[in-house]
Amino acid sequence: MLIDRKDMEGFCDVLRRGGQRIVFTNGCFDLLHAGHVRYLARARSFGDCLVLGLNTDASVRRLKGPSRPINREEDRAEVVGALRSVDYVVLFGEETAEALIAEVRPAVYVKGGDYTLETLPEAKIVQSYGGRVEFVDMVEGRSTTNVIERIRQERDGK
């Protein structure tokens, strides 16, 4: 379910008062693949509900370049929101998810194993209110960039 950003903080307060352990992760999720599905299922296992912060189209372009995203934010939100492991989706356009995390205040913040506490600016915010950060190993060879590269190679006959 897509939640409007302006309602997110109050919505999460209601979940917490109801005893829900909120897990949060974020990303572009441009071309959904098995690596994403496994990652999100693992993230969800850390709590009662998974809130996914989804980069807006403008922020994906800033992060990945002018040819991205492949799919519009509305489509990406619908696809990830349909996964059994994802309870709520919220769009964000900032460079990092720091402000959104401060609003959501998840018990657990999950990121891929290619990050560390030192390279993750959001970690300090999560730890400041007693939350924890978990790292989930990514599925080897599964990435949107790899999928796009394979398509380009096929198109170019390489």
The answer to whether the pTM exceeds 0.85 is yes
Rounded Cα distance between 123 and 133, Å, is 7
Residues of the chain with pLDDT under 50: none
Which one, of 98, 133, 103, lies nearest residue 11 by Cα?
Answer: 103
Q: Residue 142: what pLDDT?
A: 62
Rounded Cα distance between 102 and 125, Å, is 7
Q: Residue 53: what pLDDT?
A: 98
Domains of the chain in sequence order: 5-155 (3.40.50.620)
Backbone angles phi, psi at 24, to 5 degrees: -130, 140
